């Protein structure tokens, strides 16, 4: 393959029938790929992802193979054990064999692009990850499988927590339920669709805003994919060969992590070397595998791994004559990549729904808008058909001795909660159940199985999301972007007045001083907000299990919960928080941005936004100096108006690359700190104006 690379800001030249494949890299490191055909497009997309994230991708593919410890040592043993126990490498081959032959060629082309990049630019890839090469289409699917089924639907941290609590409890019966399981901080996201009736311009609009960790397999990658008849723009998680959030001239979609349970944990009763099932003894399938673990001297040490599987799935724990087995949906549904690809090719609602009806994507809400003015919210997922019980029951530990609890089918598209073109003219999801996607609420929980989706509550981020949309009769594109950056603390609206009154009534000098600071606080987490740090620390001190005088009520979803149930204990927590703030920062009214920071390379910027159920969501990790560094949350933002031409702006908070010495590592962080988006360049003419580098592929097969 021959690749010509050069800087070029030349005059726009229309291409009459794309006869070559090109990557036009813009000044923010976004690849605009023009493929002479679809296979060449996928090849170039693999090349582009390696250019931007090569080291990360090879490490992720090594982990998806279940061979990371062989490549990089002992610290990856648990990762390999998880991937192998869940059957990812073997099933990835099965998925590969089951692909539509044409689409399988596209996956192979993506893998070939990865390999071609490393052959041409070996010096830009770290030596320690080159052992993974060459990669194959099976590796691509193994990575996808690990991300979807064994990170988003269920992950090793959640399973380890469940296993530890189950092993340590005295109760080995199935009465051990969801209340015994330590919840994990959920991955978050915001999504909006606004109909022409609520848009200032009369055009439908879409807001995409996933919240993920800023590292590893959660990194977003922005790109434009062009081939004859194809022009889709959007983003995907690194290593995935199609856009998973995207838009074209006619329509667009985003995803949010939905309140969805696609995993069942079964308690088995052991007997005679097997387990009881429907009144009989059933044998486990047992397999012994070998993990090769690289030692510091470069030698490999063999470590055995024994995997037991019941009819439910792999065994994840055993004690006292009992065992736990894990069942995960979607293991026989290999078509997620082709479904996302087809979604990006759709030209109208009918074609888009035809693309998503097979339900190959195992979870995620779909928020949709199009040029014709349609908007849609779909509670998407492979929801198992259950025999009994509600959502809470199936989130716990289920009796595994009977086939009546073993789900073997999932609900078809027609069964799922779906809202199309609501009377309100707007839809939102901020990881809340679909019942609160808009108001007046068109969906009724009683019309759906109790196990499909929980009934509530509506968290504060979702409430603020809905209130912003509900309060504005004509939303402009600029206003939508402004709302997107809201740092308003909805929780403060429900508690702050009561807390200030209680502090002045029950508090000592520290409590009264804290009340004074909170009274002048703007109830936001702007970088210069004074009082936000104190309120955040109070959130850590106070007992949320008995905080509100009025609990959440689904009849009043946007005004409850409300009020302090125990003002005295709330003041005690406030005084403890105030003492921490003074001891650490020397003043109660330290600005938010002095404590919470955005860091990348030499950049160290004041943050705005935060974790307290704020629409502009950021997650922080403590630093040694008492400050906190953003490590997740706001990841990718795209604001789209289906005008003619489409108007769109975007941001990848941490930049569109992670490769060492790339100028695009962190190059969008200053825009993020200023609450700004950058324009999306889609036409070839405007891309040429903002061109940094052009790569031309002259002989891609």
Q: What is the mean pLDDT of the chain?
A: 94
**DSSP code of residue 554:** T
The gap from C-alpha 588 to its chain's centroid, in whole angstroms, comes to 35
Using alpha carbons only, how large is the chain's radius of gyration in Å?
26
Q: CATH number of the domain at 128, please.
A: 1.10.439.10
The gap from C-alpha 189 to its chain's centroid, in whole angstroms, comes to 7
Q: Which two tokens stand for residue 561?
A: 């919960």
| 205 and 304 together in one domain | no
Q: Look at residue 171 in the predicted model and tell me its pLDDT.
A: 53
For residue 426, which of 87, 666, 196, 159 has the smallest C-alpha distance? Answer: 196
For residue 41, which of 103, 97, 118, 119 has the smallest C-alpha distance? Answer: 103
DSSP H or E run through 469: helix 460-471
Residues 263, 326 contacting (CB under 8 angstroms): yes
DSSP letters spanning 306-370: EEEE-SSSBEEEEETTEEEEEEETTTT---HHHHHHHHHH--SHHHHHHHHTT--S-S-EEEEEE
| 361 and 301 together in one domain | no
| 36 and 63 together in one domain | yes
511-512-514-518 Cα dihedral, nearest 10 degrees: 130
| 293 and 249 together in one domain | no
**Which of 458, 484, 510 represents a domain boundary (last residue)?**
484
Residue 574 has pLDDT above 60, yes or no: yes
Residue with tokens 């931007």: 52
Q: Look at residue 342 in the predicted model and tell me its pLDDT.
A: 98
Whether residue 558 lies inside any domain: the answer is yes
At 1, is the pLDDT very low, low, confident or very high (cuts 50, 70, 90)?
low
| 120 and 239 together in one domain | no
Whether residue 16 lies inside any domain: the answer is no
User: How far, in Å, CA of 456 to CA of 259, rounded?
Assistant: 10
**DSSP code of residue 150:** I
Residues 267, 273 contacting (CB under 8 angstroms): no
End-to-end Cα separation, the chain, in angstroms: 9
Q: Look at residue 9 in the predicted model and tell me its pLDDT.
A: 27
Neighbours of 391 (CB within 10 A): 19
Q: Any idea what the Cα angle at residue 303 is, between residues 302 and 309, rounded to 5°?
A: 135
For residue 669, which of 656, 686, 683, 688 has the smallest C-alpha distance? Answer: 656
Residues 182, 165 contacting (CB under 8 angstroms): yes
DSSP letters spanning 523-534: SB--TT-BSHHH
pLDDT, tens only, 488-510:
999 999 999 999 999 999 999 99
| 427 and 544 together in one domain | no
- The sign of the dihedral angle between the CA atoms of 592, 593, 595, 598 is positive
Domain assignment of residue 549, given as a range: 490-614
Residue 173 has pLDDT above 90, yes or no: no
For residue 304, which of 114, 79, 83, 77 has the smallest C-alpha distance? Answer: 77
pLDDT, tens only, 7-65:
332 222 334 455 899 999 999 999 999 999 999 999 999 999 999 999 999 999 999 99
At 694, is the pLDDT very low, low, confident or very high (cuts 50, 70, 90)?
very high
Coil, strand or helix at 549? strand
For residue 65, which of 74, 52, 76, 49 has the smallest C-alpha distance? Answer: 76
Residue 653 has pLDDT above 80, yes or no: yes
pLDDT, tens only, 74-118:
999 999 999 999 999 999 999 999 999 999 999 999 999 999 999
Residues 395, 259 contacting (CB under 8 angstroms): no
Residue 172 has pLDDT above 80, yes or no: no
How many residues does the structure list for the chain?
Answer: 701
Higher pLDDT, 574 or 698: 574
Q: What is the largest CA-CA distance in the chain?
A: 78
| 128 and 277 together in one domain | yes
* Burial label, 89 (beta-carbon count in 10 A; 0-12, 13-18, 19+): buried
**Mean pLDDT within 518-522:** 98
Report the share of the chain in percent with pLDDT over 90.
Answer: 91
Q: Who's near 386: CB < 8 A, 6+ residues apart?
A: 394, 407, 449, 451
Whether residue 229 lies inside any domain: the answer is yes
Residue 210 has pLDDT above 90, yes or no: yes
Whether residue 569 lies inside any domain: the answer is yes
Residues 236, 337 contacting (CB under 8 angstroms): no
For residue 275, which of 402, 394, 172, 169 has the smallest C-alpha distance? Answer: 402
User: How far, in Å, CA of 639 to CA of 650, rounded?
Assistant: 6
State phi, psi for 297 to the nearest 5 degrees.
Answer: -90, 5
Residue with tokens 């126990």: 85
Residue 668 CA: distances (Å) to CA of 324, 663, 672: 46, 10, 6
Q: Look at residue 8 in the predicted model and tell me its pLDDT.
A: 34
Q: CATH number of the domain at 604, please.
A: 1.10.1400.10
Coil, strand or helix at 426? strand
Q: Look at residue 548 in the predicted model and tell me its pLDDT.
A: 98
For residue 287, which of 423, 570, 86 has the smallest C-alpha distance? Answer: 86
| 300 and 237 together in one domain | no
Residues 359, 412 contacting (CB under 8 angstroms): yes
DSSP letters spanning 575-592: HHHHHHHHHHHSSTT-BH
Helices (H) and strands (E) counted in the chain, each on its own, are 19, 31
pLDDT, tens only, 281-337:
999 999 999 999 999 999 999 999 999 999 999 999 999 999 999 999 999 999 999
Across 173-243, where does the E strand assignment appear? 188-194, 205-213, 220-227, 230-237
Q: Who's near 264: CB < 8 A, 6+ residues apart?
A: 312, 326, 327, 384, 394, 398, 405, 407
Whether residue 412 lies inside any domain: the answer is no
**Mean pLDDT within 563-573:** 97
| 173 and 80 together in one domain | yes
| 251 and 268 together in one domain | no
| 439 and 529 together in one domain | no
Across 104-202, where does the E strand assignment appear? 188-194
| 542 and 598 together in one domain | yes
Residue 589 has pLDDT above 80, yes or no: yes
Q: Kindly list the catalytic residues.
A: 189, 211, 634
Q: Look at residue 180 in the predicted model and tell me its pLDDT.
A: 36
pLDDT, tens only, 468-480:
999 999 999 999 9
User: How far, in Å, CA of 608 to CA of 617, rounded?
Assistant: 9
Q: Which two tokens stand for residue 254?
A: 């985003």
Q: CATH number of the domain at 445, please.
A: 3.60.20.10
Whether residue 442 lies inside any domain: the answer is yes
- The sign of the dihedral angle between the CA atoms of 210, 212, 217, 221 is positive
The gap from C-alpha 379 to its chain's centroid, in whole angstroms, comes to 15
**Mean pLDDT within 381-404:** 95
**Which of 599, 614, 629 represents a domain boundary (last residue)?**
614
**Which of 582, 614, 646 represents a domain boundary (last residue)?**
614
DSSP letters spanning 600-618: ETTEEEE---BTTT-SSBE
At 568, is the pLDDT very low, low, confident or very high (cuts 50, 70, 90)?
very high
Residue with tokens 């978050």: 188
Whether residue 664 lies inside any domain: the answer is no
Domain count, the chain: 3
């Amino acid at each position: 393959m021959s690749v010509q690379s050069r800087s070029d800001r030349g005059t726009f030249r229309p291409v009459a029938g794309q006869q070559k494949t090109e990557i036009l890299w813009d000044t923010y490191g976004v690849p605009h790929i023009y493929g002479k055909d679809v296979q060449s497009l996928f090849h170039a997309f693999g090349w582009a992802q390696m250019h931007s994230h090569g080291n990360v991708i090879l490490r992720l593919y090594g982990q998806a193979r279940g061979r990371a410890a062989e490549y990089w040592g002992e610290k990856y043993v648990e990762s390999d054990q998880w991937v192998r126990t869940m059957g990812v490498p073997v099933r990835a081959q099965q998925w590969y064999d089951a692909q539509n032959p044409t689409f399988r060629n596209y996956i192979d082309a993506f893998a070939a692009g990865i390999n071609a990049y490393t052959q041409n630019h070996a010096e830009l890839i770290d030596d320690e990850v080159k052992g993974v090469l060459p990669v194959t289409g099976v590796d691509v699917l193994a990575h996808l499988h690990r991300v979807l089924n064994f990170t988003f639907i269920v992950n090793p941290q959640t399973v380890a927590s469940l296993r530890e609590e189950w092993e340590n409890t005295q109760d080995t019966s199935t009465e051990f339920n969801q209340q015994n399981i330590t919840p994990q901080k959920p991955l978050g996201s915001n999504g909006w669709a606004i109909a022409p009736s609520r848009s200032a311009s009369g055009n439908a609009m879409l807001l995409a805003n996933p919240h993920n960790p800023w590292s590893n397999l959660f990194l977003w990658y922005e790109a434009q994919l062009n081939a004859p008849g194809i022009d889709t723009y959007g983003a995907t998680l690194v290593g995935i060969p199609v856009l998973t959030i995207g838009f074209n001239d006619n329509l667009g979609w985003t995803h949010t992590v939905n309140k969805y349970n696609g995993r069942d944990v079964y308690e088995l009763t052991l007997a005679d070397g097997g387990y009881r099932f429907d009144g009989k003894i059933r044998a486990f399938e047992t397999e012994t595998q070998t993990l090769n673990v690289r030692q510091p001297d470069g030698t490999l040490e063999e470590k055995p791994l024994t995997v037991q599987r019941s009819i439910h799935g792999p065994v994840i724990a055993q004690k006292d004559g009992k065992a736990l087995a894990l069942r995960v949906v979607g293991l026989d549904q290999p078509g997620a990549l082709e479904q996302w690809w087809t979604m990006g090719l759709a030209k109208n609602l009918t074609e888009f729904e035809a693309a998503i009806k097979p339900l190959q994507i195992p979870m995620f809400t779909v928020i949709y808008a199009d040029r014709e003015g349609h908007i849609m919210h779909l509670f998407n997922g492979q929801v198992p058909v259950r025999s009994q019980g509600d959502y809470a029951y199936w989130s716990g530990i289920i009796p595994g001795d009977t086939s009546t609890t073993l789900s073997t089918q999932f609900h078809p598209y027609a069964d799922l909660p779906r809202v199309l073109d609501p009377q309100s003219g707007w839809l939102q999801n901020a990881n809340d159940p679909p019942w609160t996607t808009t108001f007046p609420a068109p969906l009724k929980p009683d019309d759906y199985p109790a196990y499909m989706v929980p009934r509530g509550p509506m968290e504060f981020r979702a409430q603020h999301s809905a209130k912003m949309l509900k309060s504005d009769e004509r939303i402009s594109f600029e206003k939508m972007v402004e709302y997107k950056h809201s740092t308003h603390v909805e929780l403060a609206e429900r508690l702050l007045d009561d807390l200030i009154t209680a502090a002045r009534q029950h508090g000592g000098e520290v409590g009264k001083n804290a009340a004074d600071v909170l009274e002048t606080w703007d109830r936001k987490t702007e970088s210069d907000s004074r009082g936000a740090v104190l309120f955040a620390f109070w959130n850590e001190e106070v007992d949320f299990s008995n905080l509100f005088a009025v609990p959440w009520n689904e009849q009043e979803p946007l005004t409850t919960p409300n009020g302090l149930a125990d003002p005295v204990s709330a003041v005690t927590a406030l005084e403890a928080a105030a003492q921490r703030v003074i001891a650490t920062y020397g003043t109660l009214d330290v600005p938010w941005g002095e404590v919470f920071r955005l860091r990348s390379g030499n950049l160290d910027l004041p943050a705005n936004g935060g974790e307290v159920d704020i629409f502009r969501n950021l997650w922080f990790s403590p630093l040694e100096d008492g400050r906190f560094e953003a490590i997740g949350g706001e990841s990718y933002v795209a604001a789209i108006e289906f005008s003619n031409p489409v108007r769109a702006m975007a941001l990848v908070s941490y930049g569109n690359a992670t490769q060492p010495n790339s100028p695009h590592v962190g190059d969008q962080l200053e825009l993020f700190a200023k609450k700004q988006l950058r324009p999306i360049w889609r036409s070839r003419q405007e891309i040429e104006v903002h061109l940094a580098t052009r790569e031309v592929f002259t002989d891609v097969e």
